[in-house]
């Protein structure tokens, strides 16, 4: 499922390429939100996470606020004082990230049979 298509010369992901899960009108999680949580966890810094995502510090900071406010409890804890201060996932943030990755894995497995059937149909017809 995660291998490249036979005709693909790019680094495009194949298989499940976007999974968004919505909890209510205030909170959802998708690949971009999961990636920023992941990078904050790995780097200990919103600023560094932003850089690796190719987004501005301000945008990453706003995204973190949206995540925390939308969830209703902090997922990311950061020191005051601006971009050079550290940040880390709270236990809730780590659990949300872990469970999102688990949902991605479960969904990948769940779609496999239909994915292969569409690939087969496509190669039979072209």
Count, residues near its own copies per rule CB under 8 A: 49
Looking at the Cβ atoms of 18 and 81, the one nearer to its own copies is: 18
What are 93-96's contacts with CB under 8 Å, separation 24+?
Answer: 93/37, 93/41, 93/67, 94/41, 96/29, 96/37, 96/71
Q: Which of 19, 53, 55, 88 binds its own copies (CB under 8 A)?
A: 19
Contact between 60 and 53 (Cβ < 8 Å): yes
CB–CB of 97/71 below 8 Å? no
Site for its own copies contains 71 (CB under 8 A): yes
Q: What DSSP state is assigned to residue 29?
A: E
Element housing 67 (H / E)? helix 57-71
Q: Does 72 bind its own copies (CB under 8 A)?
A: yes
Phi and psi, residue 85, nearest 5°: -80, 160
* 5 binds its own copies per the rule CB under 8 A: yes
One of 56, 65, 85, 109 touching its own copies (CB under 8 A): 109
Tell me how far, at minimum, the Cβ of 84 lies from its own copies, in Å: 29
Q: How many CA atoms lie within 13 A of 74 on its CB side?
A: 9
Q: Which is nearer to its own copies, 36 or 96 (CB)?
A: 96
20 binds its own copies, rule: CB under 8 A:
yes
Residues that bind its own copies (CB under 8 A): 4-10, 12-28, 30, 71-73, 92, 95-96, 99-100, 102-103, 106-107, 109-111, 114-115, 117-119, 121-122, 125-126
């Amino acid at each position: 499922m995660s291998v490249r298509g036979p005709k693909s010369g790019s680094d495009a992901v194949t298989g499940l390429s976007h999974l968004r899960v919505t909890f209510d009108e205030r909170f959802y999680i998708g690949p971009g939100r999961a990636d920023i949580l992941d990078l904050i966890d790995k780097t200990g810094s919103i600023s560094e996470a932003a850089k690796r995502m190719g987004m501005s510090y301000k945008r990453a900071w706003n995204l973190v606020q949206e995540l925390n406010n939308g969830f209703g409890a902090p997922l990311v804890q950061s020191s005051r004082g601006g971009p050079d201060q550290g940040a880390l996932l709270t236990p809730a943030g780590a659990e949300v990230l872990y469970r999102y990755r688990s949902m991605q894995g479960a969904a990948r497995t769940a779609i496999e049979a239909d994915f292969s059937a569409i690939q087969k149909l496509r190669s039979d017809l072209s």
